[in-house]
DNA sequence: TATCTTATTTACCTACCGGTAAGTATAAAC
DNA sequence: GTTTATACTTACCGGTAGGTAAATAAGATA
């Protein structure tokens, strides 16, 4: 009993995928609360109960959309934390990978940002904060390595970490804007280079 | 005709003010679409038609809340652009003032950020972008001055501007988070100092 | 062929949404 | 003392929200 029997037509769970795509589009355009189940199912070309069949409810399809991309982030963080490169290169690699992941999930990212930094819009809670902190943590570890090895000047770890994350965040958010982004991944690496070259040790004394 | 006659009880337009306060609270907690007029008027302790009396509709009270704080920003930008100080001090003064304005209007700011960077939530359009660009412009002008006068190394103007605005943005957004902010205005000035000291001209040659 | 499971539809529910019509109390103006 | 404008209330509107009960179509199993 409880065997694996599936009618399974030509496309497997086609409706499910179409619902996910449509929901992502509409959540991205209007936000969680302003998106109606009716709009979503209409855009997906299916009937309303289908959404309640595949996902428990409106919250269910939202939760699925918001949690999936973070599985990739976890992997990126793990990999970069243990790479054997200079601290500078590890930060650049980490941020570059995050940038790519972000671009691949731009619509989901827009929704995440607006809910993490803004009002929850009636959407169910999701621990975006945890991932934000993890990124900061890994960056902080790399910075600490860089200072220990003498690759960086002995500045305050947190301050440098903030400057770096600030640059990353700024570039990521620029991609969310309505207008054409004025900074991209090239701008990010330039900004990082500026910060790094700024804090690189030099022979001459520096004020303060 | 069209004379100035006012019944004017003890408190003038008390309901109006209470509506604005309640609307700000509730928009801030739930976002635009998820906030109902009923909730707002209940929190304000007035009846529903009062909102439609003082403001045309839900969009009207939202628009009033979102546009008022920018009048102060305009003044800050104008003042700082024409101050006779070092570029470094002007940037710090500008960002410090913006930080204070931001903190004084934290609830409105949270709503603005979520709508500017995220989905519009069904809220009427407001040109947040214009103000964002103005801040960037003024910062860019100060940076250009600093490079011209030799106060800064001859780096790319945009890149340095991005690094600075990134630090500002990062600190501002930190204030929006659910948790206790890990960076405040002190952290901001530290980060700015790090970037400035990094780009300050030095006697020794620098790689790249 | 009858049965079971999965996938999908039609028709409907209640609750709440933004908005308003119509009336009223109050106090200044004439 | 009647008028007039302001400030405010009660009662209601049509529409739409999220969600579901119940029937059904179709392939797999027996």
Query: Which ranges of chain A does DSSP label H, i.e. alpha helix?
Result: 14-30, 37-44, 48-54, 58-81, 87-104, 106-117, 128-148, 157-176, 185-199
Q: What would the pLDDT profile of A4-28 be if each residue is shown by its tens digit?
A: 344 444 456 789 999 999 999 999 9
Residue B139 contacts residue B165 (beta carbons within 8 Å):
yes
Closest Cβ opposite residue A195 in set B28, B177, B195: B195
Q: What would the pLDDT profile of B37-87 be if each residue is shown by its tens digit?
A: 999 999 999 999 999 999 999 999 999 999 999 999 999 999 998 899 999
B66-199: CATH, from 3.40.50.300, 2.40.50.100, 1.10.357.10, 3.40.710.10: 1.10.357.10
Q: What would the pLDDT profile of B105-130 be if each residue is shown by its tens digit?
A: 999 999 999 999 899 999 999 999 99
Q: What would the pLDDT profile of B78-107 be if each residue is shown by its tens digit?
A: 999 889 999 999 999 999 999 999 999 999
- For domain A13-55, the CATH superfamily is Homeodomain-like (1.10.10.60)
Q: How far is the CA of B45 from the C1' of D13 (A)?
A: 23
Going from N- to C-terminal start, the domains of chain B cover 1-55, 66-199
B176 touches strand C (CB under 7 A): no
Q: What would the pLDDT profile of A96-145 be if each residue is shown by its tens digit?
A: 999 999 999 999 999 999 999 899 999 999 999 999 999 999 999 999 99
Covered bases, chain D (protein CB within 7 Å): 5-12, 16-22, 26-30
Assess whether pLDDT exceeds 80 at residue A207.
no
Assess whether pLDDT exceeds 80 at residue B208.
no
Give the pLDDT score at B12: 63
Which has more pLDDT, A42 or A208?
Answer: A42
The class that CATH gives domain B1-55 is mainly alpha
Residue B167 makes CB contacts below 8 A (sequence gap 6+) with A162, A163, A166, B188, B191, B192, B195
Q: How far is the CA of A41 from the C1' of C9 (A)?
A: 13
**Angstrom distance (rounded) from CA A189 to CA A45:** 43
Give the pLDDT score at B11: 58
Reported confidence tier of residue B6, pLDDT bands at 50, 70, 90: very low
Give the pLDDT score at B179: 81
User: What ipTM is given for this predicted complex?
Assistant: 0.84
Q: How far is the CA of A129 from the C1' of C6 (A)?
A: 39
Q: Do A206 and B191 touch (CB under 8 A)?
A: no
């Amino acid at each position: 009993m409880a065997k694996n029997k599936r009618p399974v037509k030509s496309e497997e769970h086609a409706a499910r995928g179409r619902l996910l795509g449509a929901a992502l589009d509409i959540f991205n355009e209007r936000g969680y609360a302003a998106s109606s189940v009716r709009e979503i199912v209409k855009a997906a070309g299916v009937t309303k109960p289908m959404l309640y069949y595949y996902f428990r409810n409106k919250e269910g399809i939202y939760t699925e959309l918001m949690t999936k991309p973070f599985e990739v982030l976890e992997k990126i963080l793990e990999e970069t934390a243990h790479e054997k490169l200079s601290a500078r290169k590890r930060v650049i690699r980490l941020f570059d990978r995050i940038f790519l992941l972000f671009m691949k999930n731009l619509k989901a990212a827009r929704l995440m940002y607006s809910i993490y930094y803004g009002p929850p819009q009636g959407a169910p809670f999701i621990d975006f904060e945890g991932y934000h902190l993890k990124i900061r943590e890994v960056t902080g570890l790399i910075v600490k390595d860089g200072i220990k090895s003498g690759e960086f000047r002995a500045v305050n770890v947190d301050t440098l970490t903030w400057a770096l994350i600030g640059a990353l965040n700024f570039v990521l958010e620029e991609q969310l804007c309505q207008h054409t982004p004025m900074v991209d991944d090239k701008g990010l690496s330039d900004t990082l280079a500026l910060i790094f070259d700024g804090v690189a040790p030099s022979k001459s004394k520096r004020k303060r």
